[in-house]
Amino acid sequence: MGGAGRVAGTPVGGSSILALAARLKRRATAAVLEARARQTLRHELALLADLGQLDQVLADCGLSPSDLAVLERPVRGWARRLQAMQRQLGVEALAETCDLALIRDMDRVCRHCSAAKICEKWLRADAVSAAPAFCPNRPNFELLRQGACN
């Protein structure tokens, strides 16, 4: 068959292989980020439960124990989009040292966001400004930018 192969019935040349490899790398990276986020969430929930604080923290976030099933359900791309948005807005380092309740609220809002397609487009445009008007996490990003976590 030589140097070129076939993927799903499509001839694959040198540049096509590079594009395919780049796409695979992006998807694999996104899957790993989402898996890590879910693992971190499960660990934090277990820790809070062991400390007897889970119900109080959930209440502080406006959640109930019955909401945990929804929180555990993987939502495609939310972790990657949230991290990319933090990076583009210049608040990624602040988010790492911020109050856990605010960060968890940002996670929750992003998990259930209905603007994922618009968000993807905005992130690809490499816009660097305030959080976009369509983003339901905009108030939280503004709190981060104003240094509310310090």
Whole domain around residue 59: which residue ranges?
A: 35-74
Mark whether 83 and 145 lie in a shared domain: yes
Mean pLDDT score of the chain, rounded to an integer? 80
Between CA 136 and CA 92 the distance in angstroms is 18
Mark whether 48 and 60 lie in a shared domain: yes
Mark whether 144 and 92 lie in a shared domain: yes
Mark whether 112 and 60 lie in a shared domain: no
- The pLDDT-based confidence of 41 (bands split at 50, 70, 90) is confident
How many domains does the structure of the chain reveal? Answer: 2
Residue 3: per-residue pLDDT: 45
Whether 76 shows a pLDDT value over 90: the answer reads no
Mark whether 58 and 128 lie in a shared domain: no
User: pTM for this one?
Assistant: 0.52
The whole-number average pLDDT for the span 25-48 is 81
Mark whether 84 and 141 lie in a shared domain: yes
Mark whether 62 and 129 lie in a shared domain: no
Residue 82: per-residue pLDDT: 92
Mark whether 126 and 142 lie in a shared domain: yes
Angle between helical axes of 14-50 and 100-111 (0-180°, round to 10)? 130
Mark whether 63 and 89 lie in a shared domain: no
Cα–Cα distances (Å) from 136 to 68, 106, 115, 119, in that order, read: 20, 9, 9, 11
Mark whether 102 and 57 lie in a shared domain: no
Residue 20 located in a structural domain: no
The whole-number average pLDDT for the span 96-121 is 84
Whether 5 shows a pLDDT value over 60: the answer reads no
Higher pLDDT pick, 22 / 75: 22
Residue 96 located in a structural domain: yes
